[in-house]
Amino acid sequence: MWRGIVVTIHPVWLVAYLFATLGLLTYGFHAYKMLFWRWRNAKTYLGRIAEVRRRSPLARVEFPQVLVQVPIFNEPAVAARAIDAVAAIDYPELEIQVLDDSTDETIAIVDETVARHRAAGVPIRVLRRTHREGFKAGALAAGLTLSDASFVAIFDADFTPGPEFVREALPLFDMPGRVACVQGRWTHLNRRQNWLTRAQAVGVDAHFLVQQLARAAGGAFLNFNGTAGMWRREAIEEAGGWRGDTLTEDLDLSYRAQLLGWRIVFDPDLVAPAELPPTLSAYKSQQRRWACGSIQCARRFFGPVWSSRLPWWVKAEATVHLCGYLVCVAMMALVLLLPYGLGHLPMLTYYPHLWPLWIGIWVAATGPLAVSLMGQRFQGRWRLREVLLCFLLGLGSCANNALAVLRGFVRPIRTFVRTPKQGSRKRPVTTETPILEQACMLFTLAVVVLLAQTRPWAVAAYALFCSAGFCFLALYWWLAERPAKTA
């Protein structure tokens, strides 16, 4: 049956299959490139940071004015916690803006918390708009017009920076080159809350301790992560200010600034604890926004990057960086083309000289796993179980992210959907049935059964590999979140 279906459009499927495979190979081997860059450059880079800090003592004679912005929208579970954290920042020339676009009970929480700190002498105020034009970017831009500060620190509502964050970040603007932004590392308030947060923590650690550090140390473009960082106001203005026409205003501003010659510094020792999405629906919402926004930025910056005078390797790395979520589209293309494998790929098992190809495919497939492992190693952790969970979470998220990427290609921005926060609540905020992941699980398992009957073991193993991630998300929801939803 399968063979009869695919023969009629065999050339189309073959080209699609080859391109998807090439995309996955590129992504997998790029992970090893990140590890190599980090190994080769990180020690020297971190030494420069330490030297700058030694030459720029925290006790300054003159302190530049620093504005701290906290954008909030309908986040009653975490608003007070975030305001308490920024109000405790130890810096003499500080101004705090709570940019509250809320329409629910968050308004009362913000007003009460801000009033309490103002009574204690903290220079803090609430700014509210009558609209949400530009979403988070619009709020940041509006607040910036009401301050003369030379530097701007930004913290989302789920972040709790320490008192020394500003004092530790400011010296790094003296790093060589024109430093536009200093990005801190996210740590985790609720890492051990459940298996989902454990898996996410591994992925976030890998992003910062391997990818961000490798790019910063290697001289490539990197991005401000939207929070837990500080900008030089001059760089924001020269780059054209905050814009709300993509879902990732942080990535957009980062590339505009770097294309003008500015530099972003990442310091892994500059940390800010944050809350990880505690439910599957919250995690998927966050990933959809990141995937859609990143591809919007890729469309915008592909031309300017390649028409610039940057070295070719910087252009290539920027392209891979901007298009990172396309790996989810490639992954889903291979999943949907598994029926094609039933009709045509068994022949590959009869050619022994193709064994280097299969080895290359499996080595590339383990690239993200190696990055996650090393991210934990750099923290002195060796919890293989959590790394495997992160790997499965990445596989299982491909369908959700692939759809978001396709939306970013064809649909303009309509609304900014915030990630639901839990705060100190015991139960999940909300959880939805992962219908898409359950459908993908059933589809891939059916293909595994059919492949096993025809014995193309290499293809069957790959199909099972694809199915594992969908099985993890579907089973996690049934075993962990569904009981809490119905309780």
Q: Is residue 367 located within the same domain as residue 282?
A: no
Does residue 424 sit within a domain? no
pLDDT band at 404; cut points 50, 70, 90? very high
Segment 117-151, tens digit of pLDDT: 999 999 999 999 988 888 999 999 999 999 999 99
Q: Among residues 317, 351, 367, which one ends one of the domains?
A: 317
Please pick, among 101, 205, 252, 267, the residue that the annotation labels catalytic. Answer: 101
pTM: 0.91
90 is a catalytic site residue: no
Q: What is the mean pLDDT of residues 42-71?
A: 86
Q: How many domains does the chain have?
A: 2
Q: Is residue 82 located within the same domain as residue 139?
A: yes
Please pick, among 100, 158, 205, 250, the residue that the annotation labels catalytic. Answer: 250
What is the pLDDT at residue 2?
A: 43
Residue 197 maps to which CATH number?
3.90.550.10
Question: Is the model's pLDDT at 7 over the cut of 50?
Answer: no
What is the pLDDT at residue 58?
A: 59
What is the pLDDT at residue 4?
A: 43
What is the pLDDT at residue 479?
A: 86
Q: What is the mean pLDDT of residues 412-424?
A: 65
Q: Give the domain range for residue 398.
A: 2-29+324-416+429-486
Q: Is residue 293 located within the same domain as residue 189?
A: yes
Q: Is residue 147 located within the same domain as residue 204?
A: yes
Q: Is residue 384 located within the same domain as residue 313?
A: no
Question: Is the model's pLDDT at 450 over the cut of 90?
Answer: no
What is the pLDDT at residue 3?
A: 46
Mean pLDDT of the chain: 87
Q: Among residues 296, 317, 338, which one ends one of the domains?
A: 317
CB atoms within 10 A of CB 153: 28
Q: What is the mean pLDDT of residues 241-247?
A: 92
What is the pLDDT at residue 382?
A: 75
What is the pLDDT at residue 265?
A: 98
Question: Is the model's pLDDT at 10 over the cut of 80?
Answer: no
Q: Is residue 101 located within the same domain as residue 217?
A: yes
84 is a catalytic site residue: no
Question: Is the model's pLDDT at 237 over the cut of 50?
Answer: yes
Specify the range with the lowest mean pLDDT, choosing from 79-83, 385-389, 397-401, 409-413.
Answer: 409-413
Q: Is residue 150 located within the same domain as residue 10?
A: no
Q: Among residues 317, 336, 371, which one ends one of the domains?
A: 317
What is the pLDDT at residue 21?
A: 81
Segment 337-375, tens digit of pLDDT: 877 655 555 555 555 666 676 677 778 878 999 999 999
Q: Is residue 332 located within the same domain as residue 264?
A: no
| pLDDT more than 70, % of the chain | 85
Question: Is the model's pLDDT at 253 over the cut of 70?
Answer: yes
